[in-house]
Amino acid sequence: MSAASLWSDVLETPAVLVDFDRMERNLSRAASYAAEHGLALRPHVKTHKSPHIGARQIALGAAGLTCATPYEAEVMATVATDLLVAYPPVGALRAARLAALPAQVSLTVALDSAQAVADMASAAASVGRRVGVYVELDLGMHRVGLPAVDAAIALARLVAAEPSLDFAGVAFYPGHVREHVHSQDAKLHVLQEALDEALSRFARAGVTPRVVSGGSTPTLWRTHEMSGVTEFRPGTYVYNDRTTVAIGACTRDDCALTVLATVVSTAVSGQAVIDAGTKALGREPVRGAEGEGFGELLEHPEVVVMRMSEEHGVLDLAASDWRPQVGERVRVVPNHVCIVVHLNDVVHGIRHGVIETSWPVAARGRGERVVV
Amino acid sequence: MSAASLWSDVLETPAVLVDFDRMERNLSRAASYAAEHGLALRPHVKTHKSPHIGARQIALGAAGLTCATPYEAEVMATVATDLLVAYPPVGALRAARLAALPAQVSLTVALDSAQAVADMASAAASVGRRVGVYVELDLGMHRVGLPAVDAAIALARLVAAEPSLDFAGVAFYPGHVREHVHSQDAKLHVLQEALDEALSRFARAGVTPRVVSGGSTPTLWRTHEMSGVTEFRPGTYVYNDRTTVAIGACTRDDCALTVLATVVSTAVSGQAVIDAGTKALGREPVRGAEGEGFGELLEHPEVVVMRMSEEHGVLDLAASDWRPQVGERVRVVPNHVCIVVHLNDVVHGIRHGVIETSWPVAARGRGERVVV
């Protein structure tokens, strides 16, 4: 523990800090929950985009990792042999990139269209690989996924008919269930009825899914109540954020990631300006309520980031006796941590005020090349 | 012009496209306006973060470039010898990084506190460099800048007393003037009165600013009406976006940057899902009006991105006869282009459907290092 690694001395701002003790507690809690209920935990890496953390999730018992983008899958293939790309593999370039993942990776994709089946089947066949497929159901979120069970069964049959594809299961995302954990009953009931109906019709049709993949961070601790679900894919739980707290899926003490910022101006009375704005925090709501702001201070929860420009965050001091000095440093608990990670290149892991390690956000971006 | 460079063939999505003809027209129009009115154009690079474009702005007559972050300044120092960092140089690390810019760079900073004066003076002195300083005034935006002219004059004297600093002028940012160009009269009138008052009191105090730096993209074409202003710092004008169109500071045909996206799902009726969500577009409003969405399609302006997840954008088809197929590609005109650039790593410059060149968003991020 060298003095030089005190983050207050060495870090320019804005900088992303991760409290390792909190993160480890978050990871362990979800792993224990999965083990207790016999559920396969397949964490979504979109939140951390880091092979270090992906490896830690695997070590704690995760069945595999979930990715959204081809680049996330490429980066996670360095630490995991079982990857789900929970995103339609549409387009020859995207499908080919997925098919080109290392051969030792067991790859599954989720999809909802005949076009995606054709694209993935063709790409997989051309490299002699077999790819698992979850047929995505819309159980109320109305984003991707087939609302009609007949159409989902027909798609599963299309998948099963492709030699390069393996019908592995069904997937859904309960992203519309964002009520407080204790107020989710009504929506979970409706979701359960739709899931029951879908599963019984799949069974009657003779295309029984081996895996039923659902679950999110907001519904994390109620996954075991969703009858039929065998696998869940929470992402945000690794770090948590103000939204997870508002939903009741964690406490404020479970927020592991903060943005370190410097007060750069106090010239206008009633406020202080920090160097974390939309380009460090993102313009993400908690629930969209008046006055909730875009983040709150770890040490002064009554102070929120009320307005932002690209590199400025305006702290509203009206509810606080605290009066910061120019040059003072603060830590912001963000509204939506997945966006914060995506906006920054490096994360600093701290324990007791000391930087223990830093790592790049390895799967940030798209792995794009300059093509001309 | 090889077939292989057709962007429809080679680009994975989401991808950022810049129409070179439109960009060049935008750059030339502002350069001509500056020359016509004898104003120094000092474009803000936050929008493009690219030394290629910075160099082009210089070639077209820009007096220098404006940056917000130390990293932007480091990257732009490769193509410009006159840089303004329009951001308080607060903190020893930030000030030292600015002072370490190449010696041939004429560096100016904008600040509003004695602490920033001390930090910048100390860092400049320690490397034997002289740094110009604009004292930032708050002329109505209430972000940074001193609202009280007395305090601003006192700060200018503090600057002038530092051997390593040079009081170069005053700066303000009319970021609160976001009405339509033709409806800005009332706010510009109030701003002009405040500016007149400040300039006459600075003159009476014997600390006459050589430069009066103001102006933005929303007020771009009215900069010459702001009596006393000698320099303006628009950023967004290089690409423009839906917000610039809404303000009337450009037409829709002047939007040079679009996000190429693929339709990945049409499973839910009345909508189509594209692979550009908050991680490609940002959750930025135009004016915050109901139904405005987070971007509109270039070829189908009646279709907007109505909802987003991190990697999903949901197109509302209610107002359109257009019914896309899965796999079809679209181009999104974003609400706020500066955020889109910051969210992406590579930009592809196109002319007539062909990629002419691609370049990295070189000054994206912070130039952070993994420190442990």
The dihedral sign for the CA sequence B273, A184, A170, A234: positive
Domain span including residue B100 = 20-242
Nearest to A284 among B151, B283, B365 (CB): B283
Contact B117, B89 (CB under 8 A): no
**B288 — contact with chain A (CB < 8 Å)?**
no
Is A267–B138 a contact, with Cβ atoms under 8 angstroms apart? yes
For residue B47, being part of any structural domain is answered with yes
Is A91–B372 a contact, with Cβ atoms under 8 angstroms apart? no
**In the predicted model, is pLDDT for residue A5 greater than 70?**
no
Angle subtended by helix axes B149-160 and B185-204, to nearest 10: 50
A233 and A256: one domain?
Answer: no
How far is the alpha carbon of A137 from chain B, nearest alpha carbon, in Å? 9
Is A264–B311 a contact, with Cβ atoms under 8 angstroms apart? no
For residue A166, being part of any structural domain is answered with yes
Alpha helix (H) ranges present in A170-286? 185-204, 242-247, 278-281
Portion 351-370 of B in contact with A at CB < 8 A: 355-360, 365-366, 368-370
B299 and B161: one domain?
Answer: no
Is A357–B369 a contact, with Cβ atoms under 8 angstroms apart? no
pLDDT value of residue A3: 42
Is A345–B359 a contact, with Cβ atoms under 8 angstroms apart? no
Q: What is the mean pLDDT of chain A?
A: 95
What gap in Å lies between CA A142 and CA B316, rounded to an integer?
12
pLDDT value of residue A4: 45
- Show residues of chain A in contact with B114, CB under 8 Å: 326
- Show residues of chain A in contact with B151, CB under 8 Å: 267
Which of A6, A12, A13 is the best mutation test for B, with the most CBs of B within 10 A?
A12
Mean pLDDT confidence for A6-25? 90
For residue B50, being part of any structural domain is answered with yes
Contact A343, B342 (CB under 8 A): yes
- Asked if the peptide bond before residue B14 counts as cis, ω within 30 degrees of 0, the response is yes
B179 and B300: one domain?
Answer: no
Is A271–B142 a contact, with Cβ atoms under 8 angstroms apart? yes
Contact B262, B327 (CB under 8 A): yes
Q: Supply the CATH number for residue A234's domain.
A: 3.20.20.10
**B15 — contact with chain A (CB < 8 Å)?**
yes
- Give the β-pairing of A295-297 and A329-334: antiparallel
Residue finishing a domain among B210, B242, B274:
B242
A104 and A161: one domain?
Answer: yes
**In the predicted model, is pLDDT for residue A372 greater than 90?**
no
Is A12–B97 a contact, with Cβ atoms under 8 angstroms apart? yes
Q: What is the pTM of this model?
A: 0.97
pLDDT value of residue B4: 45
What gap in Å lies between CA B55 and CA B77, rounded to an integer?
10
Nearest to A145 among B143, B267, B368 (CB): B267
- Show residues of chain A in contact with B145, CB under 8 Å: 265, 267-268
Plot region of B291 (φ>0 → left; ψ -120 to 50 → alpha; else → beta): left
Residue B230 makes CB contacts below 8 A (sequence gap 6+) with B39, B40, B169, B211, B212, B213
pLDDT value of residue B215: 85
For residue B370, being part of any structural domain is answered with no
Name the stretches of chain B with pLDDT < 50.
Answer: 1-4
How far is the alpha carbon of A77 from chain B, nearest alpha carbon, in Å? 20
Q: Per residue in A333-343, is it b (16+ CB within 10 Å) or e — as a string?
A: bbbbbbbbbbb
- Quote the ipTM score: 0.97
Is A278–B263 a contact, with Cβ atoms under 8 angstroms apart? no
How confident is the model over A274-309, as pLDDT tens digits?
Answer: 999 999 999 999 998 889 999 999 999 999 999 999
**In the predicted model, is pLDDT for residue A245 greater than 90?**
yes
Portion 84-143 of B in contact with A at CB < 8 A: 87-88, 90-91, 93-94, 97, 112-116, 119, 136, 138, 142-143
Is B278–A339 a contact, with Cβ atoms under 8 angstroms apart? yes
Q: How many domains does chain A have?
A: 2
What gap in Å lies between CA B140 and CA B147, rounded to an integer?
8
For residue B344, being part of any structural domain is answered with yes
Nearest to A10 among B314, B357, B371 (CB): B371
Nearest-CA residue of chain A relative to B149? A267
A130 and A40: one domain?
Answer: yes
B77 and B26: one domain?
Answer: yes
B79 and B200: one domain?
Answer: yes
How confident is the model over B313-325, as pLDDT tens digits?
Answer: 999 999 999 999 9
Nearest-CA residue of chain A relative to B370? A358
Nearest-CA residue of chain B relative to A93? B12
Portion 222-241 of B in contact with A at CB < 8 A: none
What gap in Å lies between CA A315 and CA A269, rounded to an integer?
11
Q: Supply the CATH number for residue A348's domain.
A: 2.40.37.20
- Show residues of chain B in contact with A345, CB under 8 Å: 365-366, 368
**In the predicted model, is pLDDT for residue A371 greater than 70?**
no
For B20-87, give the DSSP string.
HHHHHHHHHHHHHHHHHHTPEE--BTTTT--HHHHHHHHHTT-S-EEESSHHHHHHHTTT-SEEEE-S
Residue finishing a domain among A242, A275, A298:
A242
A230 and A273: one domain?
Answer: no
Is B327–A5 a contact, with Cβ atoms under 8 angstroms apart? no
B131 and B268: one domain?
Answer: no
Q: What is the mean pLDDT of chain B?
A: 95
What gap in Å lies between CA A158 and CA A166, rounded to an integer?
10
For residue A12, being part of any structural domain is answered with no
What gap in Å lies between CA A247 and CA A263, rounded to an integer?
30
- Show residues of chain B in contact with A90, CB under 8 Å: 262-265, 275, 326-327
Is B136–A366 a contact, with Cβ atoms under 8 angstroms apart? no
pLDDT value of residue B353: 80
B165 and B256: one domain?
Answer: no
A308 and A208: one domain?
Answer: no
- Residue A10 sits at φ, ψ, to 5 deg, of -105, -15
pLDDT value of residue B6: 64
Residue finishing a domain among A215, A242, A269:
A242
Nearest-CA residue of chain B relative to A86? B311
**In the predicted model, is pLDDT for residue A364 greater than 90?**
yes
Nearest-CA residue of chain A relative to B314? A143
For residue B214, being part of any structural domain is answered with yes
Nearest-CA residue of chain B relative to A142? B268
B225 and B299: one domain?
Answer: no
Nearest to A267 among B87, B144, B356 (CB): B144
How far is the alpha carbon of A278 from chain B, nearest alpha carbon, in Å? 8
For residue A368, being part of any structural domain is answered with no
- Asked if the peptide bond before residue A14 counts as cis, ω within 30 degrees of 0, the response is yes
Six-digit token string for A140: 């109320």
How confident is the model over A20-77, as pLDDT tens digits?
Answer: 999 999 999 999 999 999 999 999 999 999 999 999 999 999 999 999 999 999 999 9
Six-digit token string for A110: 């989720």
What gap in Å lies between CA A280 and CA B34, rounded to an integer?
32
Portion 45-84 of A in contact with B at CB < 8 A: 46, 68-70
pLDDT value of residue A288: 87
